[in-house]
Amino acid sequence: MADYEFLTEATLPAYLAGQPDLAARVDPADLVECREVGDGNLNLVFLVRGRAGRGLCLKQALPYLRLTGQGWPLTPDRARHEAESLGTYGGLTPTLVPEVYLYDAARHIIAMENLSDHLVWRTALNQGLRHDGAAQAMGVFVGATAFGTSAFALEREALGQAMAAAINPQLCQTTEDLVFTEPLVDAGRNAVLAANQPDVAAFQSDPAMVAEMGLAKWLFMTKAEALIHGDLHTGSVMVRSPAGSTVADSVKAFDSEFAFYGPVAFDLGALFANYVIAAARAFALGENERAAWCLTLIPQTWASFEAEFRSRWPSRRDPRLWGEAFLDNLFATWQAESWLFAAAKMSRRVIGLAKAADIETLPPALREGAARGLLQVAQWIATERRKGASPVRLIEIACRVLIETRTG
């Protein structure tokens, strides 16, 4: 039994009325919209609008996982991690995250900017839409936050406090289980088409995959480089374009409840994996040009990440020890680690709980090849990264494998 009250569409107006900062933005007595719209795995999400203004989004963390129900308890303190990380990110890159108006610690509610004029990027990709500039924006987001929350930017005491406040073990363990362990060791939550069972068996019995995922999990648990988003797939990004344009005029990372001090390359790998997943869908549908475009998102994100991080490098705290050669080395390490994490992230969306709509909404005859392709790309890149990782090489591997494995 929870010790706090869950919001409902019926109780939300009274909640707003009791929060002067929110009531000043939306008149609770004159709402034209008040809807629960959450379709994610974890939380309740409400959109409210009055006659004037853009309205609000209210997100409430339940004490369990929405996807599975009360049988999977999950700390509602994740709302604090989301509110605090969005506040930190907003200070570093204000246009690339929603503005947070209020965090209610007693009821685990965040009130933030209403982005209902945006689309979830995964939804947009699945509809065949382009939002040019979104991949670059996410590179800037990762570059700015990776530098700005790290030992390169923060004074020692502040860094220690930021790391302590961001300790997020329950959410991290969810990732450790679902992203690294369960694709290899079934805990009863895995499911694939019968036609893909031999692919999963090959994946799980590949000793190189076991070794590489062991390394990935260990890096995730120990490499506290920066306040990473922790769940930066295309479903955690909102995009908007003006009518008739394919160029994004607003791009926002959201849903950062998994934030903690972890490896920078985990966020990059999450983006790369989901670009490859989008490409797998396009190839499966015979949309080769579109698939090629999806894969160009990889170098777009990488280049803007690197440029953003390098632009901040002159302000690093200890240039005596952290020179240019050190930085070059860091990028080479992150490039290779991003492939490792991308391998984990693409295979979990095929094998385990919480799959990607990109693949799940394909007819089974096409899904079979797309799923097989993603598992094989994961196996390739988890090891090939040791021979030298680059965005162009990742595109080559993904293109070749996803075309070879097409079915239907």
Residue 209 or 344 with smaller CB distance to ligand SR1:
344
How many beta carbons lie within 10 A of that of residue 6, not counting itself? 14
What is the DSSP code string of 54-74? --EEEEEE-SEETTTEEEEE-
Asked if 273 interacts with ligand SR1 (CB under 6 A), we say no
Residue 308 interacts with, from ligand SR1, Mg ion, none (CB under 5-8 Å by kind): none
Residue 354 interacts with, from ligand SR1, Mg ion, none (CB under 5-8 Å by kind): ligand SR1
Tell me the per-residue interface mask from 233 to 272 with Mg ion, x by CB under 5 A, - otherwise: ----------------------x-----------------
Residue 65 interacts with, from ligand SR1, Mg ion, none (CB under 5-8 Å by kind): ligand SR1
Min dist CB 40 to Mg ion, Å, is 5
**CA of residue 319 relative to chain centroid, distance:** 32
User: How far is residue 207's CA from residue 219's CA, in Å, rounded to a whole number?
Assistant: 18
Min dist CB 38 to Mg ion, Å, is 10
Beta strand pairing status for 43-50 and 64-65? Answer: unpaired
User: How far is residue 348's CA from residue 118's CA, in Å, rounded to a whole number?
Assistant: 27
Amino acid, res. 4: Y
Say if residues 295 and 395 touch (Cβ distance below 8 Å): yes
Both structure tokens of 336: 């290779």
Asked if 231 interacts with ligand SR1 (CB under 6 A), we say yes
Contacts (CB under 6 A) with ligand SR1, residues 51-70: 65, 67
Contacts (CB under 6 A) with ligand SR1, residues 18-57: 41-42
Coil, helix or strand at residue 344: helix
Asked if 216 interacts with ligand SR1 (CB under 6 A), we say no
User: How far is residue 349's CA from residue 235's CA, in Å, rounded to a whole number?
Assistant: 12
Q: Judged by CB under 6 A, which stretch of 8-16, 173-181, 206-214, 329-337 contacts ligand SR1?
A: 173-181
Say if residues 79 and 60 touch (Cβ distance below 8 Å): yes
Residue 174 interacts with, from ligand SR1, Mg ion, none (CB under 5-8 Å by kind): ligand SR1
Min dist CB 70 to ligand SR1, Å, is 14
Residue 178 interacts with, from ligand SR1, Mg ion, none (CB under 5-8 Å by kind): ligand SR1
User: How far is residue 191's CA from residue 350's CA, in Å, rounded to a whole number?
Assistant: 8
Burial label, 242 (beta-carbon count in 10 A; 0-12, 13-18, 19+): exposed
What distances in angstroms separate CA 53 from CA 17, 88, 395, one per listed residue?
Answer: 17, 26, 43
Residue 26 interacts with, from ligand SR1, Mg ion, none (CB under 5-8 Å by kind): none
The DSSP H or E segment spanning 43 is: strand 43-50
Q: Judged by CB under 6 A, which stretch of 151-159, 170-178, 206-214, 286-294 contacts ligand SR1?
A: 170-178
Amino acid, res. 53: G
Tell me the per-residue interface mask from 67 to 96 with ligand SR1, x by CB under 6 A, - otherwise: x-----------------------------
Both structure tokens of 12: 């939300």
Size of the site for ligand SR1 (CB under 6 A): 9
Both structure tokens of 287: 């949309």
Say if residues 144 and 93 touch (Cβ distance below 8 Å): yes
Binding-site member from 58, 178, 259, 370 for ligand SR1 (CB under 6 A): 178
Min dist CB 156 to ligand SR1, Å, is 32
Contacts (CB under 6 A) with ligand SR1, residues 333-362: 354
Q: Where does this chain bind ligand SR1 (CB under 6 A)?
A: 41-42, 65, 67, 174-175, 178, 231, 354
Q: Where does this chain bind Mg ion (CB under 5 A)?
A: 40, 255
